C-alpha cells in the first residue's frame, strides 16, 4: 500500500480526522500549504524580542552610549515606523481593513515598543514628571489605542489596554498589587473594558475588536478574583465569585467557539479552588500528589475539550 492509501484507510477507520488526512496527504504529495499563522507568530515574537533587546541595551549601556544618542535613536525608530505606516495605510474605516503590506503590523508594533522604551528612558534619566510618572502610562495607552483604531491592529489595541490597566493600578491603588483595593480596581477596570468593547461593537466601530476587549477584561476580572482566594479577607466569597465568572467564561467560550476563554476560566478557577483545598492539606505527600494529579487532569481535560470546541482564531 502507498502512503496515501494508508492515510485513506486510517481516515475511514476513524483513526484520523478529515482535516488531518487532508493535511498529511498534502505533505505526502508535496503540495503547497499555508504557513501564514506560523510566520505571523515568528514575526510577532521577533518584534517583541527586538523590543526587549532595545530595553535591555538601553538599561545596561546608557552610560557608554550617551543620553542624546539613545533618545535620538529611539525617536528615529518611532518616527520612521509611523512614517511607514501613515504613508502606506488605507484611509480610516470603521470596518475591518486589511494591512497594506505583510510587514505593516510588525512595523507598527515596533514603533509602539520603541516609544515605550523612549518614554521610560527619558523619565529614568531626567525625572521630568517625578511623582506623576504614571502619566507616561496614560500617554502611552492613549497613543497605542489611537494607533490601533487608525491602523486596525488588535495586538496594539491589547497593548494599549494593558498599559491603561497599569495606569489604573498605579493611580487608584498605589499601596500594593495584591491588596483589596487593587482587586476592586481590577474588577472595575475589567467591567469598564468589557462595557466599552460592547459599546463600540454596538456603534459598529471596529466590531472585530470586541474579542481583544474581552480578552483583557476577562483576565483582569479573573486575576482579581483568583488573588482574592489566596490573600483576601473573605476568601470564600472571592472563591464563589471566581467560580461564577469562570463558569460564564467557559460557557461563553464553548458557545461561540473561542477556546482561549475556556482556558482562562479553567486555569483561574483551578488556581482559586486549589488554593482553598491545599490550605486544608497538611501532609506533604498528599499536597504533592494533588498538584501532580490535578494538574495533569486539567491539562488532559483542556486538550480533550480543545478537540471538541476549539478552533483557530
Cα gap 168→138, rounded to integer Å? 9
Domain locations in the chain as residue ranges:
173-313
Share of the chain above pLDDT 90, in %: 37
The DSSP secondary-structure symbol of 90 reads: P
Say if CB 120 and CB 62 are below 8 A apart: no
Q: How confident is the model at residue 312 (pLDDT cuts 50, 70, 90)?
A: very low
The predicted pLDDT at position 33 comes to 47
Choose the weakest-confidence range: 40-54, 123-137, 252-266, 298-312. 40-54
Q: What is the rounded CA–CA span in Å between residue 244 and residue 18?
A: 37
Is 122's pLDDT higher than 50?
yes
Gap between the Cα atoms of 240 and 244, Å rounded: 6
pTM, to two decimals: 0.78
Q: For 82-91, write each residue's pLDDT tens digit.
A: 999 999 999 9
Q: What's the rounded Cα separation, in Å, for the pair 159 and 180?
A: 25
Q: For residue 149, give every residue at least 6 positions away whose Cβ sits within 8 Å of its Cβ, in sequence order, or none.
A: 92, 157, 205, 206, 209
Amino acid at each position: 500500500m502507498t502512503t496515501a492509501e494508508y492515510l485513506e484507510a486510517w481516515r475511514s477507520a476513524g483513526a484520523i480526522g478529515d482535516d488531518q488526512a487532508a493535511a498529511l496527504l498534502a505533505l505526502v504529495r508535496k503540495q503547497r500549504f499555508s504557513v501564514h499563522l506560523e510566520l505571523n507568530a515568528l514575526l510577532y515574537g521577533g518584534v517583541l524580542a527586538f523590543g526587549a533587546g532595545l530595553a535591555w541595551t538601553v538599561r545596561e549601556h546608557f552610560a557608554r552610549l550617551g543620553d542624546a544618542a539613545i533618545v535620538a535613536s529611539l525617536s528615529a525608530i518611532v518616527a520612521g515606523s509611523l512614517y511607514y505606516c501613515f504613508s502606506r495605510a488605507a484611509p480610516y474605516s470603521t470596518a475591518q481593513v486589511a494591512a497594506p503590506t505583510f510587514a505593516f503590523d510588525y512595523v507598527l508594533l515596533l514603533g509602539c515598543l520603541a516609544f515605550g522604551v523612549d518614554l521610560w528612558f527619558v523619565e529614568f534619566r531626567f525625572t521630568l514628571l517625578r511623582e506623576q510618572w504614571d502619566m507616561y502610562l496614560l500617554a502611552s495607552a492613549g497613543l497605542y489605542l489611537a494607533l490601533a483604531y487608525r491602523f486596525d491592529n488588535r495586538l496594539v489595541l491589547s497593548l494599549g489596554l494593558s498599559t491603561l490597566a497599569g495606569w489604573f493600578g498605579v493611580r487608584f491603588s498605589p499601596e500594593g498589587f495584591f491588596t483589596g483595593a487593587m482587586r476592586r480596581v481590577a474588577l472595575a477596570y475589567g467591567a469598564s473594558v468589557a462595557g466599552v468593547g460592547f459599546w463600540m461593537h454596538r456603534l459598529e466601530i471596529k466590531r472585530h475588536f470586541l474579542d481583544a476587549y474581552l480578552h483583557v477584561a476577562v483576565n483582569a476580572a479573573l486575576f482579581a478574583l483568583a488573588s482574592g482566594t489566596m490573600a483576601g479577607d473573605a476568601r470564600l466569597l472571592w472563591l464563589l465569585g471566581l467560580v461564577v465568572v469562570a463558569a460564564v467564561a467557559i460557557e461563553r467560550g464553548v458557545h461561540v467557539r473561542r477556546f482561549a476563554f475556556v482556558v482562562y476560566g479553567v486555569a483561574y478557577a483551578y488556581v482559586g479552588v486549589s488554593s482553598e483545598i491545599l490550605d486544608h492539606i497538611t501532609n506533604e505527600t498528599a499536597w504533592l500528589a494533588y498538584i501532580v494529579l490535578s494538574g495533569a487532569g486539567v491539562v488532559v481535560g483542556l486538550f480533550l475539550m480543545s478537540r471538541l470546541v476549539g478552533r483557530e482564531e
